[in-house]
Structure 1
Amino acid sequence: MQNAVIAANATWDTYSQSFSAQKSVWQESRAPLAAAVEAFNAQPPAGFFGKLGRAFTKATKIASMERKIRGLDGMIADEEQNLRQTAIGVYRDLGEAALAAKGGAADKERYATLVDIESHLDDAAQKLRSAIKEADEASDMELMDMAANNKGISLLSYFETDEAKEAISAAGESIKALNGKLRDAQKQDVQLAKDLGFGNTLDLFVDMAGGFMGAFTSYLNMQKLDDAVEKMTGIQDTVGKMQAEVGAGLRAIQTAAIKSAAADNAKIAPLVESMTPYLPEDTAGVLRGQRPALRLSDLNR
């Protein structure tokens, strides 16, 4: 556990300090631009020539400043998002080390189940994205084929549709495997879905998956491709919700283990406190004492 804390501190210090330094540079570049734009906007034009001059200044100077401000804001936002992902990763590593050292058998088993579900969800999400893309492209090619009546385009359309069929079939198999994994997990741990709060989402997923599997793996035409995209998009949205719920469940167990380990290691609390602003609210709120912890861990019951 001590080695995990040292590694987490080192990684977080490196990334957070780098972000702070880069953000300061960008903010220094942004400040005079923002001040100039604010001063310009605070001066109303007087008369026709005043409006004309203002429009000229806006087009030749202020618009360029505003573009630079948006660019700097975008870079800051992108780097902050990268830091948030780093925080989630460091927190996970720390939580898993704490779980290994302090967690009970039930928590470890529940965590392993969620990790397995997470892996199936990630696979389904990736295959759904691929299948939606292939089906969209095949549908567009079908439309071109109908309009052009050209043998070359017909051949391309055939290949595009065949690729879409394979991608949809792969997505269907992944959905089927995920459906089975979710049902197995629910049977093994009835309390799990209730504690996570995704019982209704799970039922919706099963209904949607049942209507999808096998329906789009035979002959495909433009209408069936468009129908497949619509159904897969709905399933993709539901998978995304479950990914968020499972992620929150994993972090709930990580948090309980980290809190337990912090009692024996004084370096954990300040590390977690510095990461808290960059963690998802389902975790940050618990750490700040502003929301109750999920009851997934025996330590929270």
Structure 2
Amino acid sequence: MNNKAAVYTGRFAPSPSGDLHFGSLLAALVSYCEARSNQGLWRLRIEDVDSTRTVIGADERIFKTLQAFALHWDGDVIYQTSEQQQEHYQQALQKLQELNLTYQCRCTRKQLAGHDTYPGHCRLLPGNHSAPHSIRVIVDDTDICFDDGFQGPQKQNPAKQCGDFNIKRKDGLFSYQLAVVVDDANSGITHVVRGIDILESTARQIFLQQKLGLPTPQYAHFPIITNQHGRKLSKQNHATAVNREDPVTVTRLALQLLNQSLPDKKPMTQQQLIQWAVDHWQPDRFKGMKQIVYGATP
């Protein structure tokens, strides 16, 4: 697949572990404006591969929030826990096994405490299907270089970053790294626009794409929203749900923080404001930025 020849296809992929907060709304807004300003498609995927973190009803509330902010997606919503997606992950796992790139890992968290990268304890041990185990993929000690659309040239080495990493957990769930690679390929994603907090995962995903013979999208990592103490606005940090009652005010604030031009104060619907944002989209205004400090969550 030649990404340059393909229709720009982006995506927004929230986890259903809670409602959208201001930081995740900004992620949706950036990826949406990037896609629409390039006359592209914008897909929606619910990343529920870690089903243990799913909050019942969170997906429907995410849909309502996106609709309230006039962020309308193309096509059907993809769920990672669907039978079809799980079959795709299993096929990818089998291909890596056939390439002799995987092994069983029986290490406990206690055994791995204090290690920044996986030390390879289980690489040479014989398999034992009766014992609880995860499955790791063997990484190459090779630099992976890519040009990030917002952060510029990058060089990462998975062997030095993390070592052999899990692609299937001990509880039988597939890992995020494998799932997202398979999902992006199957959905024809040409451009992945996401927060800089996920930048370090990129080389692992490119590594899997290369081994599985899948296309590599263009990656672009935008600055994350943090509080005055440098902590990312996230569900783990108890960020509150974004206010759906006044989307225009919240959207104007998000655009302001991204250094985007704003329309004058005349009355404007949310749909009109989103169209303004797309028509006047200037990502160069936040390129190279790592974080945007905001003191309070709207």
TM-score tier by shorter-chain length is under 0.3
Higher RCO structure (Cα 8 Å, ≥6 apart): 1
TM-score by length of 1: 0.24
Q: Which has the higher helix share?
A: 1
TM-score relative to the length of structure 2? 0.24
More strand by share: 2
